[in-house]
Amino acid sequence: MKAAVLIAPFDIRIEEVDKPKIGSKEVLVRPMATAICGTDVHMYNGSLKVKLPLIMGHETAGDVVEVGKDVRRVKVGDRVVIYPIIFCGACHICNMGRVYLCPNGGLMGREVDGAYAEYVSVSEHLLYELPENVSYKEGAIVELLWTVFHGHTRIKISPGDSVAVLGLGASGLLHVALAKISGADPVIAISRSEWKLNLAKKFGADTIICAREFDPVQGVLEATDGLGADVVVESVGATQTFLQSMKLVKPGGTILQFGICTQPINNYNAYPIYFKEINIIGTRAMSPSEFEPMIKLVASKRIDVKPLITHEFPIEKIKDGLELVDKRPGEVLRAIITY
């Protein structure tokens, strides 16, 4: 079969590789659309070290083309979304129901070969039905919404709460949409990008703040009668915006740290956490149990993910897609690989 194989950093090639063989409880899926994730880009540029060669890709939707003899949940011809997190199902963390934190697990397309290929083998329990009225391309965005939805299950947004979203990449825009559906008012969107701010309005933002022109702290205070936001979603993953979020949140409020911040914070002063009694909540990946309510939001069109698809590339041009996201990320929300 044809696959995009990462040989070394910045060296990805379309090669002929063996078609995966499936076990009795496994399924062969033909990917139809796969989104380029930040994790893929970090592996591509070498900032995330992985065992090479590797077939990346994990945000995918496709068709079931073959099933093992003991498979019962799906059948040939089913349209599916893949839950890409690998977990043992037997450890203390898995038994708590938090399989996405399994210390023995991993990620499809990182620890094992993924979906940038004609076929991928997947355990039956990792597949979820993609409704007929949701396209494969929309299905490829579902995992991102899934992680955003999981973040919102970790906090509480009540009708009338003020919510500020720092950073308006694809995930930030989905945070805006979910906050609005939860009844937040106002929803405040903050970005340095004018076109993303304009898009945030379509996703439900009541107030937009261009961080290049206005002080976000002052803007949030003005929008919340001087109190600060009940909830701040940090969706950038930078030390500066993490520290800024503590200024944006009101006393007794909550910060959802959604952005992945890998840098140490020098001269960090934790005093505001004490003085304002701030709740800082971490979030990672998503739970299988959250798929059904999340996919209903897409199928019912309460959340339209299509505007997040800003670029498409055939798999033969995957290097162009990875280069775009790596070198000019501000131009992209989500790039989709098609087959």
Query: What tokens does 125 get?
Result: 């329990």
Q: Which residues pair with 31 in a beta bridge?
A: 62
**216 cis-preceded (ω within 30 degrees of 0):** no
What is the rounded distance in angstroms from the CA atom of residue 244 to the CA atom of residue 166?
9
Catalytic residue flag (residue 42):
yes
What is the rounded distance in angstroms from the CA atom of residue 293 to the CA atom of residue 278?
29
If we measure between CA atoms, which residue out of 151, 178, 165, 149 comes closest to residue 241?
A: 165
Instruction: Choose, from 42, 239, 310, 338, the residue flagged as catalytic.
Output: 42
Catalytic residue flag (residue 39):
yes
Query: What tokens does 42 get?
Result: 């970090």
- Alpha-helical segments (H) within 189-317: 194-202, 216-223, 239-248, 271-275, 291-299
Instruction: Choose, from 39, 60, 254, 283, the residue flagged as catalytic.
Output: 39
User: Please, are residues 197 and 203 in contact by the beta-carbon 8 Å criterion?
Assistant: no
End-to-end CA distance of the chain: 12
DSSP state letters, 80-145: EEE--EE--S-SHHHHTT-GGG-TT-EEBTTTB--SSBS-EEEEGGGEEEPPTTS-HHHHHHHHHH
- For residue 321, which amino acid is it? G
Please give the helix or strand (H or E) that residue 263 lies within, else none.
none
Query: What tokens does 56 get?
Result: 């990346």
Contacts 24+ apart (CB under 8 A), 289-293: 289/97, 290/146, 290/149, 290/150, 290/153, 291/81, 291/83, 291/128, 291/146, 293/149
The CB density around residue 4, as the number of other CB atoms within 10 Å, is: 26
Catalytic residues: 39, 42
